């Protein structure tokens, strides 16, 4: 238990440090003055300032989140126009790269972890299931979960048609979006009364929210194949996460959003399964952190990039107070969402 907790704290903290480390390294590359690099928050446990450096490195008591403070980055700060080390006095190109470097660092970290796993433990590849259709996982807030379907259940029939594998289940379910559909389920060797589940419409296909139980084997990949996978997978994961966000917006729900507690629970479960599962979930979260921060929303890196894009196109800086107000409102909204999902994750 203690090992799982420590590994979870280490893994999630590492991803935050990677993100802020990207900002830090880019800022220093362009000669910006970084005054603080904080790991965690709350009371300070340790601090260190290298001789001759402007940067104070801090470790907080609560080992989650990290941030860097770049001098002159706050739009409402009074700045000296003759100070060459300020963020605000650097070229728009330098500022864009500095902001983009955080999400990029998360994507780079995901690629490095994929490459390392593929060359060491090997990459996990599914063994083609031949049947029966055993439920491996039921998605939260899905029609299947609402109907009472559980992991380990065997789907025998769907709308009167025999089901031998996941492909046959999809064949029956996909055309029946929004239509009540009968499923015959076997649980612990006993047949249950038929369940009526209405598949949800996801991009024009009916989905009930189950994944099949799949057996895996590990295959160590050649260097070229591992490198290709390290480039391809973060892109594929980003696509899936964007589709999921689109669904959340459409359904006006926060059920798919996780706060620090929710992420911690998932990582802790993966730690207990082994090193591959632990690193794999860190890869997923690292891509999610990078992708989320690139969304064009105030207070996120993507929101800052929008203002920098405006400056790049118009060759005029946006009004400092207007930009600061927009970011402040965005931050308040994000903190509210985080508080909401964290409360839900704690009580669930």
- For the annotated catalytic residues, the residue numbers are 20
Cβ-proximal residues to 193 (8 Å cutoff; 6+ apart), any chain: none
Rounded Cα gap, residues 161 and 174, in angstroms: 14
Rounded Cα gap, residues 260 and 294, in angstroms: 19
Phi-psi category of 125—alpha, beta or left, where left has phi over 0 and alpha has psi -120 to 50?
A: beta
């Amino acid at each position: 238990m203690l090992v799982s907790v420590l590994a979870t704290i280490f893994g999630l903290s590492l991803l935050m440090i990677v993100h802020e480390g990207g900002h830090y390294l880019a800022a220093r590359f362009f000669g910006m003055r970084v005054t603080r690099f904080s790991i965690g928050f709350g009371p300070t446990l340790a601090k260190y300032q290298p001789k001759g450096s402007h940067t104070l490195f801090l470790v907080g008591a609560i080992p989650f989140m990290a941030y860097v403070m770049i001098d002159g980055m706050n739009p409402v700060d009074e700045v000296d126009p003759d100070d060459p080390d300020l963020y605000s006095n650097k070229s728009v190109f330098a500022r864009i790269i500095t902001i983009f470097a955080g999400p990029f660092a998360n994507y780079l970290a995901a690629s490095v972890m994929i490459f390392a796993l593929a060359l060491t433990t090997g990459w996990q590849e599914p063994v083609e299931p031949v049947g029966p259709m055993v439920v491996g996982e039921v998605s939260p807030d899905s029609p299947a979960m609402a109907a009472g379907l559980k992991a380990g259940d065997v789907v025998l029939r769907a709308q009167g048609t025999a089901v031998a594998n996941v492909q046959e289940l999809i064949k029956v379910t996909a055309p029946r979006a929004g239509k009540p559909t009968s499923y015959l389920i076997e649980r612990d060797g006993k047949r249950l009364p038929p369940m009526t589940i209405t598949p949800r419409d996801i991009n024009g296909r009916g989905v009930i929210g189950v994944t099949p139980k799949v057996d895996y084997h590990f295959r160590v990949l050649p260097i070229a194949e591992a490198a290709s996978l390290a480039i391809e997978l973060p892109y594929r994961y980003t696509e899936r996460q964007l589709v999921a966000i689109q669904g959340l917006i459409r359904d006006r729900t926060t059920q798919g959003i996780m706060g620090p507690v929710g992420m911690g629970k998932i990582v802790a479960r993966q730690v207990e399964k082994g090193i591959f599962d632990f690193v794999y979930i860190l890869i997923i979260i690292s891509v999610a952190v990078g992708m989320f921060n690139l969304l064009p929303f105030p207070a996120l890196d993507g929101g800052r990039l929008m203002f920098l894009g405006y400056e790049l196109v118009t060759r005029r800086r946006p009004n400092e107070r207007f930009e600061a107000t927009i970011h402040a409102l965005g931050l308040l909204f994000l903190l509210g969402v985080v508080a909401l999902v964290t409360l839900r994750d704690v009580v669930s």
